[in-house]
Amino acid sequence: MDRQQVGVMLVLEDGLGLKFDISCFNDRLICQKAIYLAQAVGINLGYYYHWYLHGPYCSSLTKDGYDINTEIQSREWDEWQLDEASRTKLKKIRRVFDVQDRKQLASKIELFASVHFLIDRKRVTDRNVTEITDTLRRFDKPFDESQVRKALEELESYEFLR
């Protein structure tokens, strides 16, 4: 397991309290979006995202996820720990991921990551709910204005948007 992969495990399990799992689509989506959102608050793991079917996506993270899965029994990341600054940043956003139902969590953070990505990459006018919703609909995302508005409020309250 390389350092970047160790970082993924530390962020997911230690920082965000998420169990690493890539056995089904929703679990892989959770991994992708959780790492995207962690990077959005300043945890630099070195992954570059582009837009794909379910919002921000990183193919190298997908590869790393499968590599981690083959080495998961070694628990190499147990020998490492996050630095204090990273732990503090992740502690501030950990409640975002506190959803027991994995399907609901996947949907929630897909929305969060997608809205953040569109704003961050200047694909929409900054925080315009109608424009964000319309853009998401053009990408076949089922989110309505009230969901986008709520996501924006939470993104701002957790300091994902500066």
* pLDDT tens string 2-56: 999 999 999 999 999 999 999 999 999 999 999 999 999 999 999 999 999 889 9
Which helix (H) or strand (E) segment is 56 a member of?
Answer: strand 55-57
Rounded distance between C-alpha atoms, residue 51 and residue 12, angstroms: 22
The answer to whether 15 and 87 are in contact (CB under 8 A) is yes
DSSP 73: G
The answer, as to whether pTM is greater than 0.75, is yes
